């Protein structure tokens, strides 16, 4: 005969109040049996397992309404939705707190320089304002290209390359070049991060070489397709402006056809983020749509149709000379290789 437990017994079991148990029952998370004679609640072993799950989900911040949906629908995709949402929320909060901490450090440095009393001045207020602006930039990036809707057709569209600019004509060559460039540095057992992993086409080359690689992407659907194609690939929700990992944990950062979705200001922030998670002797290899300079852009655009120019203006092509100056701030060298009219591969070390 199955054991039955009273509300007091299971509350004691988990070191919580009986009111908390009643609260979860009221929210529809628990459905204990009722004694026909006295209407007392009785809980089964399954109720105990469910309560344990509820408490654990709450301990990592999952909202009550999401827990209810998880318990009622255990399908993988349904559960992934809620846990991915929580992953993103937590990482965004960590990023926000890091910005605040950095701001406070600068303010404290200013205050320690004061000889007498603190007066509200422009320096401190500017520090706070700059932090707020940084947070807003990170928070306001939007996927105006709708990669979630593009995910299932992405590989096919790359092969067909219907655009008049033919930016994907050397797609396979570019992926191979990025892989070969990383291998040329002879890093032993590198821990690799790919930003904008997409459907996993580049990551698969490193997986086939038994490398440790994690792919992040802001698109849930892209990650779903990548996992379907490459079950052994570890994927996470993430983006250039908020890389969801601790400082100095990757030997290599790679990216293809993703950096051009950031404007100039966002690129600078993304570069700082990459160096935050990159080990001191690590390397960055990026292949993307670029021009050598603004003059190079003007020369190329002069020979394009209006439609082709509009297609370019829909993106944020990088400038090699700008990137050289940005990476120089971190005492890093940049080498570049031109693949075709629009595609370059840069190596930063």
pLDDT at 1 over 70: no
Condensed to tens digits (0 to 9), the pLDDT of residues 11-33 reads: 999 999 999 999 999 999 999 99
pLDDT at 247 over 80: yes
Q: Tell me the average pLDDT of the chain.
A: 96
Residues 156 and 57 occupy one common structural domain: no
Residues 272 and 132 occupy one common structural domain: no
Select from 28, 31, 89, 33 the least CA-distant residue to 61.
Answer: 89
Residues 154 and 52 occupy one common structural domain: no
Q: What average pLDDT does range 182-190 have in this prediction? A: 98
CA distance 344 to 6: 68
Q: Judge residue 267's burial from the number of C-beta atoms within 10 Å of its C-beta, 0-12 exposed, 13-18 middle, 19 or more buried.
A: buried
Residues 152 and 251 occupy one common structural domain: yes
Total count of domains within the chain: 3
Q: What average pLDDT does range 41-64 have in this prediction? A: 96
> Which domain range does residue 84 map to?
77-140
Q: Give residue 233's pLDDT.
A: 98
In a domain, 1, yes or no: no
Q: CA 64 from chain center: how many Å?
A: 25
Residues 65 and 97 occupy one common structural domain: no
DSSP strand pairing (212-217 vs 191-195): parallel
The domain boundary residue, chosen from 72, 96, 112: 72
Which residues, 6+ apart, have CB-to-CB distance to 79 below 8 Å?
A: 70, 73
pLDDT at 115 over 80: no
Select from 101, 130, 127 the least CA-distant residue to 269.
Answer: 130
Please answer whether residues 288 and 344 qualify as being in contact, where contact means their C-beta atoms are separated by less than 8 angstroms.
yes
Provide, rounded to the nearest whole percent, the portion of the chain with pLDDT above 90.
Answer: 93
Q: For 15, left (φ over 0), alpha (ψ -120 to 50), or beta?
A: left
Condensed to tens digits (0 to 9), the pLDDT of residues 89-101 reads: 999 999 999 999 9
Please answer whether residues 347 and 335 qualify as being in contact, where contact means their C-beta atoms are separated by less than 8 angstroms.
yes
Which residues, 6+ apart, have CB-to-CB distance to 188 below 8 Å?
A: none
Q: Which residue has the higher pLDDT, 232 or 37?
A: 232
Question: How many Å is the Cα radius of gyration of the chain?
Answer: 26
Q: What average pLDDT does range 67-91 have in this prediction? A: 96
pLDDT-derived band at 114 (thresholds 50, 70, 90) equals confident
- CA 345-346-349 angle, to 5 degrees, is 145
The domain boundary residue, chosen from 118, 140, 162: 140
Residues 236 and 337 occupy one common structural domain: yes
The CATH number of residue 286's host domain is 3.40.50.150
Please answer whether residues 18 and 7 qualify as being in contact, where contact means their C-beta atoms are separated by less than 8 angstroms.
yes
The domain boundary residue, chosen from 72, 104, 129: 72
Q: What average pLDDT does range 271-293 have in this prediction? A: 98
Residues 26 and 120 occupy one common structural domain: no
Residues 169 and 39 occupy one common structural domain: no
Residues 240 and 157 occupy one common structural domain: yes
Please answer whether residues 334 and 323 qualify as being in contact, where contact means their C-beta atoms are separated by less than 8 angstroms.
yes
Q: Give residue 35's pLDDT.
A: 85
Residues 190 and 218 occupy one common structural domain: yes
Residues 54 and 120 occupy one common structural domain: no
The CATH number of residue 39's host domain is 1.10.1660.10
């Amino acid at each position: 005969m199955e054991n039955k437990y009273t509300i007091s017994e299971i509350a004691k079991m988990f070191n919580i109040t009986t009111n908390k148990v009643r609260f979860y029952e009221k929210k529809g998370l628990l459905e204990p049996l009722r004694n026909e004679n006295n209407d007392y609640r009785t809980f089964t072993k399954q109720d105990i397992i469910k309560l344990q799950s509820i408490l654990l989900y709450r301990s990592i911040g999952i909202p009550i309404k999401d827990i209810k949906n998880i318990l009622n629908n255990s399908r993988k995709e349904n559960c992934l939705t809620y846990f991915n949402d929580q992953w993103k929320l937590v990482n965004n909060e960590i990023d926000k707190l890091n910005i605040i901490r950095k701001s406070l450090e600068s303010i404290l440095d200013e205050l320690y320089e004061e000889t007498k009393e603190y007066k509200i001045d422009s320096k401190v207020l500017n520090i706070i304002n700059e932090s707020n602006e940084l947070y807003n930039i990170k928070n306001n990036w939007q996927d105006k290209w709708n990669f979630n809707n593009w995910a299932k057709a992405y590989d096919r569209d790359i092969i067909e390359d219907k655009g008049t600019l033919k930016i994907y004509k050397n797609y396979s060559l570019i992926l191979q070049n990025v892989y070969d460039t990383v291998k040329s540095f002879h890093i032993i057992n590198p821990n690799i991060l790919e930003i904008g992993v997409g459907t996993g086409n580049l990551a698969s080359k490193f997986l086939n070489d038994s490398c440790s690689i994690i792919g992040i992407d802001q698109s849930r659907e892209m990650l779903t397709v990548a996992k379907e194609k490459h079950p052994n690939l570890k994927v996470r929700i993430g983006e250039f402006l908020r890389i969801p990992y601790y400082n100095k944990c990757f030997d290599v950062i790679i990216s293809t056809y993703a950096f051009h979705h950031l404007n100039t200001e966002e690129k600078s922030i993304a570069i700082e983020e990459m160096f935050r998670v990159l080990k001191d002797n690590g390397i960055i290899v990026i292949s993307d749509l670029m021009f050598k300079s603004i003059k190079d852009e003007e020369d190329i655009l002069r020979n394009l149709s209006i439609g082709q120019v509009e297609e370019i203006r829909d993106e944020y092509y990088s400038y090699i000379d700008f990137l050289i100056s940005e990476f120089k701030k971190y005492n890093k060298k940049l080498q570049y290789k031109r693949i075709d009219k629009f595609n370059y591969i840069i190596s930063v070390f």
